[in-house]
Chains A and B, each alone.
Chain A
Amino acid sequence: MSAIQPPEERVWWKEPIAPIEITWILIAFVWCLFMFIMMPYWHIFGKQNLANEAYRSTPELFTAKAQAMVDKYKVREETEQAIPVVRPPAGSDVYLVARLWQWWPLLELEEGQTYRLHLMSLDWLHGFSLQPENINIQVHPGYEHILQVQPNRAGTYSIICNEYCGINHHTMAAKLYVVKK
Chain B
Amino acid sequence: MSEVARNNAKGPAAGSHEDIEDEAIPAMQHLLDNPFILLFLGVVVPTVLYVIWGVMEIVGIPIAK
Contacts and interface: CB of A to CB of B under 8 A. Distances in A.
A56 B58 CA distance: 9
Interface of A: 10-14, 54-57, 61-62, 143-144
Given A10-B17, A10-B20, A55 B64 contact: yes
B23 interface: yes
Interface stretch (B25-33, B34-42, B44-52): B25-33
A53 to B, nearest CB: 9
B21 interface: yes
A11 B26 contact: yes
A55 B17 contact: no
A55 B26 CA distance: 51
Interface of B: 17, 20-21, 23, 25-26, 28-29, 61-65
B29 A56 contact: no
A122 B13 CA distance: 71
B61 A143 contact: yes
Contact of B63 (A12, A14, A55): A55
Given A57-B64, A62-B64, A143-B61, 19 more contacts: A10-B17, A10-B21, A10-B25, A11-B20, A11-B23, A11-B25, A11-B26, A11-B29, A12-B29, A13-B25, A13-B26, A13-B28, A14-B26, A55-B62, A55-B63, A55-B64, A56-B61, A56-B63, A56-B64
Contacts of B28: 13
8 contacts: A11-B25, A12-B29, A13-B28, A55-B62, A55-B63, A55-B64, A57-B64, A143-B61
Nearest to A62: B64
Contacts of A143: 61
B60 to A, nearest CB: 10
Nearest to B32: A13
Given A11-B29, A13-B28, A13-B29, A144 B64 contact: yes
Nearest to B63: A56
Contacts of B20: 10-11
Nearest to B57: A52
